[in-house]
Structure 1
Amino acid sequence: MESMELSSKEKIELRRFWRIIYKKLSQPSSPADKHTGLLTGFLATTEFASVQDSHDLVEYCGPNLTVKVADVITFAHEFKSVYPDTFPEKKVIKAARMAATFSQGNTWNGIVETTSSMIFSTSKRFQELAKDTSGEMRHVVHRTVQKYLERALDVVADRLKCNLKDPDMPSYLKTNIDIAVDRLMPDVKLEIFRKTQDLFVPEVTNLLTEEKMSVDTNVVKKPSLYLLLRAKILYHLFPYDKSIWMSFKDTWWLIFTTIGLVPVVGQLWWLFLFIIKDKTDEHQLCQFIIGFKSAQFFTLGLLATATGVMAYIRCIIFGSMELCHEHGPGLETWGVFFFILQIGLVWTAFFRLPYTVAFNEAVNIKQIPKPALPESTEALQVMKHLPVDARRLSIPKSTADREPTSSILSHFRGKAYRDIFGNTLHLDRGGYLMKFCGYETICLAIISLLSCVILWYPFANWQRRALFYWLRTTYGVMSFPFLIFKVPVLTTILLHTKRMGYNEHGDTVCAVAASNRTDSTIAT
């Protein structure tokens, strides 16, 4: 059977071939004499050939479908005409005849058993090797993929610069385009590298989720009313297993979100959310800052502007100056208190951000056991059956060799500092959101300077109230740049955080991608 071993490309084509035969012969009301129809037309009109090659062939096709050897030979000739370079026609015909010889009837089982052993032989051997060398091999392959991805992304960046420029464009715009692309590409590379790392090491991504969602059946604690309320609010507002589109269908999500937009109650609501949220997680604290500043733009900015304009229009319609003094737009004493509370809440969140824990650090704290080196004789024998390119990926000899050598990852590996109390802080937490702290500082300085001018100048009481009202409105409008973090794609690139959410118990866990959600999870 050594002559029946297939290459990786031949295995893919062979899987596709058996599935197409199954689809062709299992069509209802299809006469047997039409089984020899043109396979090329079938390939062009069906999506069956696009089924992922990772499906189990035996489970997909089933054990009861029968097929004649003559039909297999006919289909093999036609399939060879479509894929002349990669399809192993002779091996397929030989396997079909062997299956017919060793079985009592011309059953599909004989063909599947013969060919499936050839298809999965190499993959099973690699899985046995992966039991001993999974961690080491993944580090090697991941580092190799990173190297080629970084080169490809550099080419994409150069082409993007050329496509964005115009011959008649001013030179300073061309220079700014180059600067913008050069500054943005490292962030794009970092997120792509993180995605590839999740593909190569999927169990590390779900480690924190699985551990926090595991329930100890021996210890049953009755949660308090506060914990039940906290879990309900956080799970409906920031669920780990729902997208934003699924949250739109959640009545509780709509109610809780609307409360945050109410002018007076919303300010207390955001204070309550800040108290109950997990302030040790980087992603959750970033989402709080972004959500709070976005709410300020809509409530203190747009809504306050519309309210003030309507108040002035009412003064004009009634033509009374006294009415404008009493009922015109103005900021009361309690409004000033809530305004200061909002500013203090934002700055508290910004000051807390460098002390948060990133997801990858939370995983490293768990001290994942390192896989053992492949010292067994069986693993060494399996290495002989691997392709030459796979054997060239030698296992690193030291722990230092396992670390990614990408300049992008080393560029974003922030340096830790110590405060005066000995606590560790990272100034790179939150990505570009931390840089917006400087923008928030400028806004606060402008508001503070104008407030001092209003208090110093001898304005009338109603004039001072109106000026403070529009000063607060200006501060709300200046929150507009934070809306850029609400764009789904830009959020990932600008924040560099792992998306986290809350489960039904109020625990912070990893968010589940839509493709990985179970049917029961989606149903709930």
Structure 2
Amino acid sequence: MSFVTKIKNQAQEKYNQIMKKKNEQYQEMNEENRGQENKQQENKMDQEKVIDEQPKNDDSAPNKPEEKPRQGTISYIKTNLTAAGDYLSNKVVEAQKTVTLQLQKVDISVKQAILKQKQSFNKWIALKIDQRISRSLKQMETKISLSVQKAVPSSCCFDFVNDAVLSLWTDASNLIRFELRVSIDEPIITLSKRPDKIRWLKPWYRLRNWILYSLYPFDVEPGKQLRSPSFLFIKLLQVIPFYGIQVFTFLIIFLAIDKTEEYQVVNYILDYKNIQFFTAGVLNALIGFFSYFYCATLKPAHDFINEKDQGLKLNYCFSHGPGAESHLILSQISYFTQVILIWCAFAVLHKTKSRADFISNEIKRQESIKRGGRLTGFMIYDLICFVGTCSLTGYIYYNYYYKKEDTFYMLPYVGNLIYFSHLMYGFLSLPFVIFVVPFFVRMFTSAIPTAYDQYGNVVPCINQMKLNYEELPLEQQDEIDIEEALEN
């Protein structure tokens, strides 16, 4: 029996008791006042006869006030009983409403308590599963070491290879544990639709959001992104190494990305180095090959057949070969600018944070892993390649060009030499090509992938994550754009 039913039953019993007492009083008063009632009825009948004998005039007759029942009469008792019944019914309704509100509060508190217990239980389960998986993965290290020992019998190389393989295995283990934790926790992130409020920078914010959402959208599949015109247009600008187009495009991207987020800075460096291999390396090699084929074979043969020159122009490639006709100053500015951009991005990497640290912090990671992971080793390799190519170029220039008296005549040779230097540095970026596969980015850099929404917010690329957008109130302004306010 519920609480409301008990209250109704108690109210009904109380009402029955009151009715019983009233009936007893009524019987006593009826016996005592029977004679008085008879006299009153006789007087009333006499008054009615007198009224009937008088002429009726409804228009002139005033409205008589209703007579109140006298104390002790039946109508008086009925009126009191009705009032008591109304009073009790009102009290019952009020009690029912109070009980309903209390039950709702109890229901909300119970739901919150159950939700907290569920969350704590899920965390407990995740912790137990994580510990079990961690122990299992730890036990695999001994088997991996035995396999490495069989594959590398040399004792001098065993320690190096074993440490490298175990380090990669640790990164893979952390990746598995992270994906498991994300699938259990189901994180929720609250973002704003208008994070930028500086009015005079509004065109730049729109351009920034368009560039970032076109290149790195968090809610667009790769197959659909490859069919996006904006994505293809920006990628086309990134692969044009002429007239500084590529460098200017990456400069705009560097200004647009969130330089406080770890993965965005890492991805910028790797993306630039990947494209540098294909443009400064492969593309320049093809251009240089066809340019040399034209100047060394087609052009002299054409001139000899048409008798423009009785002898083959063997020195035609000196002035029209690969890099000879390029603008030296613009070429060098573009070359050094791209190196500066990459190292500026690497310089701010140690100050970055990951947007998914609220999950990854719960997973025990190696203390030696810093921001960017093993990207530092790749950057040291890139620095060695850059210094090596510059040193080789300077050595060749000093020994073969600088001592010549006719420096103007030697300018085409310098263009060929610089072209060769850029080509060699581009091919030396080959180790960065492995980062085209996202798995190796996670493995070697320990950076959790992030992307951008249409408002320019950095969002972790987690399938189970839920996004909530909060509306920001309009700021007080002298002039308010109604259309803009309605759109937002």
- Flag whether TM exceeds 0.5 (same fold): yes
- The aligned amino acid for 1:237 is L
Kept after mapping to 2: 8 A contact 1:311/1:328: yes
Match of 2:371, SS?
A: coil
Q: Deviations over 1:409-463 (max 9, x none)?
A: 2x2476xxxxxxxxxxxxx111122332211221122123223313422413332
Match of 2:459, SS?
A: strand
Aligned counterpart, 1:356? 352
Aligned counterpart, 1:42? none
- The aligned amino acid for 1:196 is L
Match of 1:476, SS?
A: helix
- Structural mapping, 1:154-165, within 5 Å: 154-160=138-144
Q: Residue 170 of structure 1: CA displacement?
A: 5.9
Q: Residue 297 of structure 1: CA displacement?
A: 0.4
Could you tell which deviates more after superposition, 127-136 or 443-452? Answer: 127-136
Kept after mapping to 2: 8 A contact 1:359/1:497: no
Kept after mapping to 2: 8 A contact 1:236/1:252: yes
**Using the alignment, how far apart are the partners of 2:149 and 2:111 within structure 1?**
49
Q: Deviations over 1:247-281 (max 9, x none)?
A: 11222211211110011212211111111221111
TM-score, length-scaled by structure 2: 0.61
- Structural mapping, 1:344-493, within 5 Å: 344-361=340-357, 363=358, 408-409=364-365, 411-412=366-367, 428-459=370-401, 460-493=410-443
**Using the alignment, how far apart are the partners of 2:258 and 2:150 within structure 1?**
48
Match of 2:191, SS?
A: helix
Match of 1:241, SS?
A: coil
- The aligned amino acid for 2:317 is C
Q: Deviations over 1:361-389 (max 9, x none)?
A: 5x59xxxxxxxxxxxxxxxxxxxxxxxxx
Is 1:310 the counterpart of 2:290? The answer is: yes
Q: Deviations over 1:135-184 (max 9, x none)?
A: 54444333322221112113444445556776796666766553332121
Q: Residue 202 of structure 1: CA displacement?
A: 1.8
Q: Deviations over 1:260-309 (max 9, x none)?
A: 00112122111111112211111111111011111110110001111111
Kept after mapping to 1: 8 A contact 2:208/2:256: yes
Kept after mapping to 2: 8 A contact 1:142/1:200: yes
Q: Residue 339 of structure 1: CA displacement?
A: 0.6
Kept after mapping to 2: 8 A contact 1:212/1:509: no
**Using the alignment, how far apart are the partners of 2:283 and 2:115 within structure 1?**
60
Kept after mapping to 2: 8 A contact 1:454/1:464: no
Aligned counterpart, 2:314? 321
Is 1:196 the counterpart of 2:180? The answer is: yes
Aligned counterpart, 1:43? none
- The aligned amino acid for 2:376 is M
Shift in alpha-carbon separation, 1:498–1:167, aligned structure 2, 3 A: closer
Kept after mapping to 1: 8 A contact 2:247/2:334: yes
Kept after mapping to 1: 8 A contact 2:126/2:181: yes
Shift in alpha-carbon separation, 1:174–1:127, aligned structure 2, 3 A: farther
Shift in alpha-carbon separation, 1:430–1:212, aligned structure 2, 3 A: farther
**Using the alignment, how far apart are the partners of 2:439 and 2:241 within structure 1?**
30
**Using the alignment, how far apart are the partners of 1:291 and 1:202 within structure 2?**
30
Match of 1:291, SS?
A: helix
- The aligned amino acid for 1:238 is Y
* Partner residue of 1:153 out of 115, 137, 140: 137
Aligned counterpart, 1:422? none
Q: Residue 468 of structure 1: CA displacement?
A: 1.5
- The aligned amino acid for 1:323 is Y
Match of 1:359, SS?
A: coil
**Using the alignment, how far apart are the partners of 1:451 and 1:220 within structure 2?**
47
Aligned counterpart, 1:283? 263
Aligned counterpart, 2:447? 497
* Partner residue of 2:126 out of 131, 138, 142: 142
Shift in alpha-carbon separation, 1:212–1:509, aligned structure 2, 3 A: farther
Aligned counterpart, 1:180? 164
Q: Percent identity?
A: 22
Shift in alpha-carbon separation, 1:517–1:237, aligned structure 2, 3 A: farther
Aligned counterpart, 2:232? 254
Q: Deviations over 1:110-131 (max 9, x none)?
A: xxxxxxxxxxxxxxxx987552
Match of 2:183, SS?
A: helix
TM-score, length-scaled by structure 1: 0.57
Is 1:226 the counterpart of 2:222? The answer is: no
Kept after mapping to 2: 8 A contact 1:279/1:285: yes
* Partner residue of 1:237 out of 199, 204, 215: 215
Q: Deviations over 1:6-44 (max 9, x none)?
A: xxxxxxxxxxxxxxxxxxxxxxxxxxxxxxxxxxxxxxx
* Partner residue of 2:248 out of 238, 263, 268: 268
Shift in alpha-carbon separation, 1:222–1:466, aligned structure 2, 3 A: closer
- Count residues with an aligned counterpart: 331
Kept after mapping to 2: 8 A contact 1:241/1:512: no
5+ long unaligned stretches in structure 1: 1-125, 365-402, 415-427, 519-524
Q: Residue 230 of structure 1: CA displacement?
A: 1.7
Q: Deviations over 1:335-371 (max 9, x none)?
A: 111111111111111111111122245x59xxxxxxx
**Using the alignment, how far apart are the partners of 2:395 and 2:217 within structure 1?**
45
**Using the alignment, how far apart are the partners of 1:464 and 1:215 within structure 2?**
50
Match of 1:211, SS?
A: strand
Kept after mapping to 1: 8 A contact 2:322/2:419: yes
Match of 1:501, SS?
A: strand
Aligned counterpart, 1:63? none
Q: Residue 487 of structure 1: CA displacement?
A: 1.2
